[in-house]
Amino acid sequence: MLVVDDDEVIRQLIAVNLTLEGFEVVTAVDGRDCLEKVEYVKPDVITLDVMMPHLDGWVTATQLRRNPATAGIKVVLITARAQDDDRSRGEEIGVDAYLTKPFDPTEMIRVVRELAGASASSFE
């Protein structure tokens, strides 16, 4: 599990919630950091903020989809951008889910669990 957000508070909120649910979590501070870490973390799911410095979530998700080594990783965009055209852009890129901030941690966990499927380890 790779959690990508430039806001430390949100990044830690997502990471703590997922860790408590039994996921092994690595964090990244922006898209560039995500693309560097994805090579060795090999996550099943990435939560990805859209509005970030250096590489935003749109560019990062597009690069993940174009790379055969990362194209199969499930991507959840988590963003304050809730307009229909933003959701459509996410669909065009091929992201697997789209959550808007402020998000319900329970819903985020449900989406991540669903995407991770049987590969997710849990304490349950």
Q: How far apart are CA 81 and CA 123, in angstroms?
A: 33
Beta strands across the sheet bearing 45-49? 26-28, 2-4, 45-49, 74-79, 97-100
Domain boundaries, the chain: 2-116
Per-residue pLDDT of the chain (124 residues; tens, 9 = 90+): 999 999 999 999 999 999 999 999 999 999 999 999 999 999 999 999 999 998 999 999 999 999 999 999 999 998 887 777 878 888 899 999 999 888 899 999 999 999 998 444 433 3
Q: How far apart are CA 83 and CA 2, in angstroms?
A: 25
Q: DSSP code of 51?
A: S
Q: How far is CA 47 from CA 29, 50, 55, 76, 97, in A?
A: 12, 10, 15, 5, 9
Q: With 0-12 CB in 10 A as exposed, 13-18 as middle and 19+ as buried, what is 87?
A: middle
Q: How far apart are CA 112 and CA 121, in angstroms?
A: 12
pLDDT digits (tens, 9 = 90+) for 99-115: 988 889 999 999 999 99
CATH number for region 2-116:
3.40.50.2300
Q: How far apart are CA 94 and CA 54, in angstroms?
A: 21
* Single pTM value for the model: 0.90
